[in-house]
A and B are shown apart, each in its own frame.
Chain A
Amino acid sequence: MKLKPCPTLLLSALLLYCASALPAPYTPANDATVLERLPFKANDPASRELRQLRDELSADPRNLDKAVALSQRYFQLAMAEGDPRFIGYAQAALAPWWELAEPPVPALVMRASLRQYNHDFIKALSDLEQATRREPRNGPAWSLLAAVHMVQADYSAARKDCANLHGLASELIVLACSATVGSLSGPAQQAYGELRKAYASSPDASPAARLWVTTRLAEMADRLGLVREADAWFKAALQLDIADAYLQAVYAEFLLDEQRYREVMTLLKGKERSDVLLVRLALAEKALGAPQAKQHEQAIRARFDAARLRGDKLHIQDEARFHLYFLNDTQEALRLARENWLSQHEPSDARMLLEAALAAKDAAAAKPALEWLAQSHIEDRHLQRLALQIGQMGVQP
Chain B
Amino acid sequence: MKRLLTTLLLLSTVLCGNAHAHKPSDSYLILKTQGATIQGQWDIALRDLDFAIGLDGNGNGEITWGELRARHDAIAAYVLPRFNIRADDAACPVHVSGNQVDNHTDGAYAVLHFVADCAQPPATLELAYSLLFDVDPQHRGLLRLEHQGVTTTAIFSPDKAAQHFDLREVTLLRQFLDYAKEGVWHIWIGFDHIMFLLALLLPAVVHRERKQWVAHGFRPAFWNVLQVVTAFTVAHSITLSLATLGVVSLPSRLVESAIAASVVLAALNNIFPLFEGKRWMVAFAFGLIHGFGFASVLADLGLPQNALLLALVGFNLGVEGGQLAIVSVFLPVAYYLHETRFYRHAVLSGGSVLIALLASVWLLERVFNFKLLPF
Contact = CB atoms under 8 A, between A and B. Distances in A.
B348 interface: no
B124 interface: no
A5 B138 contact: no
Contacts of B66: 30-32
A25 B137 contact: no
Contacts of B60: 41-42
B69 interface: yes
B103 to A, nearest CB: 6
A24 interface: yes
A270 B17 CA distance: 10
The 10 A-B residue pairs whose C-beta atoms are closest, nearest first, are A31-B66, A42-B59, A88-B138, A88-B136, A41-B61, A28-B65, A25-B100, A83-B22, A35-B108, A25-B111
Interface string A334-366: 000000000000000000000000000000000
B46 A35 contact: yes
A35 B22 contact: no
Given A85-B48, A306-B104, 14 more contacts: A10-B4, A23-B102, A25-B100, A26-B102, A31-B66, A37-B61, A41-B60, A85-B138, A88-B25, A270-B18, A273-B20, A274-B22, A306-B26, A306-B106
A326 to B, nearest CB: 16
A203 interface: no
A239 interface: no
Interface string B8-27: 10011101111111111110
Contact of B19 (A18, A36, A88): A18
Interface in A81-95: 81-85, 87-89, 91-92, 95
B282 interface: no
Interface in B1-44: 1, 4-5, 8, 11-13, 15-26, 41, 43
Nearest to B25: A85
Contacts of A95: 134, 137
A310 B1 contact: no
Interface of B: 1, 4-5, 8, 11-13, 15-26, 41, 43, 46-48, 50-51, 56, 59-66, 68-69, 100-109, 111, 113, 134-140, 142, 155
B43 A87 contact: no
Contacts of A81: 22
A38 B61 contact: yes
A98 interface: yes
A26 B22 contact: no
Contacts of B136: 85, 88-89, 91-92
Contact of A309 (B15, B43, B142): B142
A347 B65 CA distance: 47
A7 B4 contact: yes
Given A23-B43, A37-B17, A311-B155, A30 B138 contact: no
Contacts, number: 169
A11 interface: yes
A302 interface: yes
A310 B24 contact: yes
Contacts of B25: 85, 88
Interface string A1-34: 0000101001100110110010111111011111
Contacts of B134: 92, 95
Contact of A36 (B4, B23, B63, B100): B63
A85 B64 contact: no
A312 interface: yes
Contact of B100 (A27, A278, A303, A307): A27
Interface string A275-296: 1001000000000000000011
B102 A24 contact: yes
A299 interface: yes
A86 B332 CA distance: 62
A354 B21 CA distance: 29
A206 interface: no
A272 interface: yes
Contacts of A272: 18-21
Interface residues of A, number: 60
A25 B12 contact: no
Contact of B22 (A7, A30, A84, A98): A84
A31 B71 CA distance: 13
A33 B65 contact: yes
Contact of B138 (A14, A87, A273): A87
Given A32-B64, A33-B64, A38-B63, A307 B4 contact: no
A4 B4 CA distance: 11
B64 A84 contact: no
Contacts of B65: 28, 30-33, 35
A310 B59 contact: no
Contacts of B4: 5, 7, 10
Given A28-B101, A38-B61, A40-B61, A85 B19 contact: no
Contacts of B13: 34
Contact of B11 (A14, A31, A270, A275): A14
Interface in A29-75: 30-44
A14 B135 contact: no
Contacts of B103: 23
Given A32-B66, A35-B64, A85 B104 contact: no
Contact of B101 (A31, A35, A88): A35
Contact of B63 (A21, A35, A82): A35
Contacts of A91: 136-138
Given A37-B62, A273-B20, A302 B26 contact: no
Contacts of A42: 56, 59-61
B111 A11 contact: no
A34 B104 contact: no
Given A34-B13, A274-B22, A299 B105 contact: yes
Give the one of A25, A39, A84 with max B CB within 10 A: A25
A56 B100 CA distance: 35
Given A18-B16, A31-B65, A88-B24, A36 B108 contact: yes
Contacts of A82: 22
Nearest to B112: A25
A114 to B, nearest CB: 9
Contacts of A23: 43, 102-104, 109
A14 B13 CA distance: 10
A104 B356 CA distance: 88
A270 to B, nearest CB: 7
28 contacts: A10-B8, A14-B15, A17-B16, A23-B104, A25-B111, A30-B66, A31-B66, A31-B69, A34-B13, A35-B64, A36-B47, A36-B108, A40-B61, A41-B61, A82-B22, A85-B47, A91-B136, A91-B137, A95-B137, A273-B22, A275-B21, A275-B23, A306-B21, A306-B23, A306-B104, A307-B23, A309-B26, A310-B155
Contacts of A31: 64-66, 69
Nearest to A302: B105
A299 B102 contact: no
